[in-house]
Amino acid sequence: MTIIKNVIGRQIIDSRGYPTVEVDLLMENGEIGRASVPSGASTGTFEAFELRDGDQKHYNGKGVKNAIEYVNGEIRKALVGMDTNSQQTIDKILNELDGTKNKSRLGANTILATSIAAARSTSKCMRLPLFEYLQKTPSYALPVPLMNVINGGRHANNDLDVQEFMIVPLGAESMHDAIRMGCEVFYSLKNILENEGFSTAVGDEGGFAPKLKSSEAALNLMVNAVESSGYKAGKDICFALDCASTEYYLDEIYNLEGEDLKLSREEKVSYLSKLCNTYPIVSIEDGMAEDDWEGWTMLTKALGGVVQLVGDDLFVTNYERIKTGINKKCANSVLIKPNQIGTVSETLDAIYYSQQNELSCIVSHRSGDTEDTFISDLCVGTGCSQIKTGSLSRSERLAKYNQLIRIEEALGKRANFLGASAFKNFKY
């Protein structure tokens, strides 16, 4: 029932206009499982390898024709006739075919598109919703969304050093309600920006990208937008940051050019503590750089009891790095990006290992993304407490929120929106 008849790869275009890999698995019973993969801009050094052609005459070197050739050649040869029922077996075959530690021969983009297509094909053949197929134990938790309403860093051409300023509607009653609240704050923020003479153009993840001078300026606008939408900042809606600190860390100094600050790791901890004392911030991602373990331990000691501290570039969805982080008492939360590690099975391993060790998990999109909604099903299926998939504009972002609305509807009374309980270990 779950036997692969054919494998077809094609080059499609992502939300930044760059090529990406899409794979169709055609099954013996006529079902088709399709998947396409995202791509980051502020990528971590320790992520699995993304294969690009490098031919400057073709999409400025960003083409993925070689990846597609691997799908339609070696991968097709290895997978036709295989049963997709065991995700682990499929992923093992793909990893063995690649033969490298970081998927640098076939590319993590090539492998992940195939791996997700296998999961989707199996769920379709089994007539199960994808989230249910991915479930280990039935849990119908719906995640709190972290919505990136102001974009900075590598995702916008303004001076904000912090890459993402997110609203967290943890006072909502349901997924649909959380999304509605996010939309309403997004409209208010647009009005406020317009009235104050700022641009309302959006960045890569659909948040506004005004030319602001500091993190405080962005957070003040967010407080105003929340309150003028009729919500209470710190009660109905809290805030989250992604500092993407690796981007401005050099020679043990955090160089916040936009704010004209050069901070030691101790000063960076103080900078973040001050923001947490002034604003209702419940989560900080990559507050320290990917190789500054000492800084991470320091930050976790200072803020770990009151704020969710999320490792993105630090952990790169990699079991080994998460393990190191636990030993060094770094962070208390893990960002989950399937394309950082490159297969569905290894993503699930990272999630379950983190959950067993009481680290919260946030499933995440990438700044370059497609209409694929795998991460929404992954998040619900694995009971991860939060999802981060951009702002309330740009359809590649909304596709994921819309899928969560559909999942909530399908679950009916069984749906359990986590709300504030997602942050019960922290100060909220």
Please say whether the beta carbons of 288 and 295 come within 8 A: yes
Burial of 421 (0-12, 13-18, 19+ CB in 10 A): middle
Report if residue 110 touches ligand PGA, rule: CB under 6 A: no
How far is the C-alpha of 258 from the C-alpha of 159, rounded, in Å?
5
Report the partner that residue 206 touches, choosing among Zn ion, ligand PGA, none (CB closer than 5 to 8 A by kind).
Answer: none
* Per-residue interface string for the shown chain with ligand PGA, residues 21-50, x marking contact by CB under 6 A: -------------------xxxx-------
Stretch that binds Zn ion, among 222-230, 235-243, 292-300, 418-426 (CB under 5 A): 235-243
The DSSP bridge partners found for residue 36 are 22
CB of 17 to ligand PGA, least distance (A): 15
Q: Could you say which of 242, 346, 372, 377 contacts Zn ion (CB under 5 A)?
A: 242
Stretch that binds Zn ion, among 86-94, 149-157, 238-246, 321-329 (CB under 5 A): 238-246
Nearer to ligand PGA, 31 or 47 (CB): 47
How far is the C-alpha of 333 from the C-alpha of 283, rounded, in Å?
9
How far is the C-alpha of 422 from the C-alpha of 361, rounded, in Å?
10
The DSSP bridge partners found for residue 424 are none
272-291 binders of Zn ion (CB under 5 A): 285
CB of 123 to Zn ion, least distance (A): 28
Residue type at position 297: T
Please say whether the beta carbons of 100 and 37 come within 8 A: no
Nearer to ligand PGA, 295 or 390 (CB): 390
Report if residue 312 touches Zn ion, rule: CB under 5 A: yes
Report if residue 366 touches ligand PGA, rule: CB under 6 A: yes
Return the residue matching tokens 């983190």. 354
CB of 42 to Zn ion, least distance (A): 6
Report if residue 400 touches ligand PGA, rule: CB under 6 A: no
> DSSP code of 143?
P
DSSP string, 123-141: HHHTT--HHHHH-SS---E
SS3 308: strand
Report if residue 318 touches ligand PGA, rule: CB under 6 A: no
- Residue 265, H or E segment: helix 265-278
CB of 247 to ligand PGA, least distance (A): 9
Report the partner that residue 396 touches, choosing among ligand PGA, Zn ion, none (CB closer than 5 to 8 A by kind).
Answer: none
Query: Which residues lie near ligand PGA (CB under 6 A)?
Result: 40-43, 242, 244, 312, 364, 366-367
